[in-house]
Amino acid sequence: MVLAGTISARQLPAQDNLDLGKMIRAVDSSNIFQSPDYYQWCSSVIEGEDGMFHMFYSRWPHGRRTAADDTLNYIFDGFSGWNKYSEIAYAIADKPGGPYHYVKTILKGTGDPTRWDRFTYHNPLIRKFNGEYYLYFIANAFDSAFTVKKSVTPQSLQWLRYNCTQKIGVVRAKTLDGLISGQFDHTPAYIMAPDNQRTYEVATNPAVTQGPDGKYYLLYKSRMPEVGHMTFWMAVADRPDGPFTTVSNVLAGADLACEDPTLWYDAGRKRFYAVAKYYSNAGKLAPQFGALVLITSINGRDWQPAHHSLVSLRQLRCKNGQMIPLARLERPFIYLDEAGWPKALFAAAAVDDPGKGDPEKVRPGNNTFIVQIPLQ
């Protein structure tokens, strides 16, 4: 209700006044989605016509890798398995904050050595455009010819021969039930790859929204040539599945390096927003490496730090008053209600570094989980 003499946030004139940090609320166990057998990461949620909330997320098993298709396959032991063994799974809840319950795996590597998506399916993003459902993702293959200019270990080179084939794809379904049951269009082509001129080595972390001009905006992560630090690029298309054309570099400086964007257009404020993980110690966007930050753009091409750039430090505030520091808080996703208002922040998290320790003995602290943080 809007009282006489006041203006609601949705009626404000176009301005950069979104403060997600102040909207964050405490969590409890119902907001945690975790498995004793799988690392869980990269969540994306949509409300279905059934009133249920449908989560698409990435997961891969704990433990050591025993497949004999690579003599250096041990480089994918434990948490590192995302680069070869991740799959996109599906879970459901009756409210956006959970609790969510695993249902099935939706997509996994084709295993076809002639295809770009031979291995890992990762970074899922679910969107509905023009009455159809689009599930964006990344996958990779293996490039035996890939080399690097500097001296690296055989293990590092082998890792890069998988890692540097990451590209972005999408599947399209007429209904959400069709997507979940496998009735979708899945072309062998990818929609974005690095050109090794402006974008370098990888194209990952797809974030897609429709702008006020009716076009579709794809914000994705790549690396800068030569200097090599992470950066975002913006691509635009007339259709949700492309073809996309890269039009601008987003926050090019190393002191503004980010990854893991989630993107939307705020019609009330007449600007684009994106939440991302800050990948720098420079303190320009946040006082902590790995904090979640907010960036903004009026036209979708030219970006800057938002006025309230800090969304969250690497921590969780619990309803019992406890503040839990985190080693990881990544892959943010903003769930919007039908009016386009942020209602929940989803993120992948771990209390201890999941990349450390014996992969055969995953402890509660370094097992990963997906957290649903209410926004008010």
Per-residue DSSP letters for 67-99? -SS-TTGGGGSGGGGHHHH-EEEEEEESSTT--
Q: What is the three-class DSSP state of 367?
A: coil
pLDDT at residue 18 greater than cutoff 60 = yes
The least confident of 14-18, 48-52, 82-86, 322-326 is 14-18
pLDDT for the residue numbered 9: 43
**pLDDT digits over 245-269, tens only?**
999 999 989 999 999 999 999 999 9
Torsion sign (Cα): 356, 39, 229, 157? positive
What residues pair up with 138 in beta bridges, in sequence order? 122, 168
Query: How many whole angstroms separate alpha carbon 218 and alpha carbon 228?
Result: 21
Confidence of residue 320 (pLDDT cuts 50, 70, 90): very high
Q: Strand ranges (DSSP E) for 149-303?
A: 167-173, 200-210, 216-223, 230-237, 245-250, 258-266, 271-278, 292-297
Beta bridge partners of 128: 133
> Is the model's pLDDT at 109 over the cut of 80?
yes
The CA–CA distances, whole Å, from 185 to 6, 175, 188, 209, 345 equal 49, 12, 10, 20, 29
Q: Does any domain span residue 189?
A: yes
Q: Cα–Cα–Cα angle for 85, 87, 88, nearest 5°?
A: 165
Question: What single DSSP character describes residue 274?
Answer: E
- Asked whether the predicted pLDDT for residue 100 surpasses 80, the reply is yes
pTM: 0.95
CA distance 110 to 63: 22
Computed over its alpha carbons, how large is the radius of gyration of the chain? 20
Residue 226 inside a domain? The answer is yes
pLDDT of residue 203: 97
Residue-wise pLDDT for 114-148, tens only, equals 999 999 999 999 999 999 999 999 999 999 999 88
- Average pLDDT score over residue span 331-341: 95
Does the bond joining 99 to the residue before it have cis omega, within 30 degrees of 0? Answer: yes
Specify the pLDDT at position 276: 98
Contact status, residue 59 vs residue 41, Cβ threshold 8 Å = yes
pLDDT of residue 225: 78
User: Is 180 among the domain residues?
Assistant: yes
Q: Phi, psi (5° rounding) for residue 49? A: -65, -20
pLDDT digits (tens, 9 = 90+) for 210-222: 999 999 999 999 9
Split at pLDDT 50, 70, 90, the class of 1 is very low
Q: Kindly state whether residue 288 falls inside one of the protein's structural domains.
A: yes
- In total, how many domains does the chain have? 1
197-217 average pLDDT score: 96
Q: What is the CATH number of the domain that holds 181?
A: 2.115.10.20
**For residue 52, is pLDDT > 80?**
yes
Q: How far apart are CA 61 and CA 188, in angstroms?
A: 26
Give the pLDDT confidence of 220-238 residue by residue, as tens digits. Answer: 999 987 667 899 999 999 9
316, 323 in Cβ contact below 8 A? yes
Domain containing residue 162: 22-374
CA distance 179 to 161: 31
Whole-angstrom Cα distance, residue 134 to residue 127? Answer: 5
Q: What's the pLDDT score for residue 13?
A: 52
Q: Does residue 75 belong to any structural domain of this protein?
A: yes
DSSP letters, 316-357, are EEBTTS-EEE-SEEEEEEEEE-TTS-EEEEEEEEESS-TTSS
Of 37, 218, 56, nearest in space to 125 by CA: 56
How many Å apart are CA 135 and CA 127, to the nearest integer? 6
With a CB cutoff of 8 Å and minimum separation 6, the contacts of 75 are 155, 158, 159
**Cross-strand bridge partners of residue 164:** none
Share of the chain above pLDDT 70, in %: 96
In the predicted model, what is the mean pLDDT of residues 151-156? 94
Tell me if 261 sits within 8 A of 207, measured CB to CB: yes
Strand-strand pairing, 216-223 and 200-210: antiparallel
The pLDDT of 47-60, averaged and rounded, is 97
Confidence of residue 187 (pLDDT cuts 50, 70, 90): confident
- Look at residue 227 in the predicted model and tell me its pLDDT: 64
- On average, the pLDDT of the chain sits at 94
Q: CA of 137: how far to CAs of 57, 140, 186, 280, 364, in Å?
A: 10, 11, 12, 25, 28
For residue 12, tell me if it sits in a domain: no
Query: 7 lies in a domain?
Result: no
Instruction: Evaluate whether residue 362 is within a structural domain.
Output: yes
Amino acid at 319: K
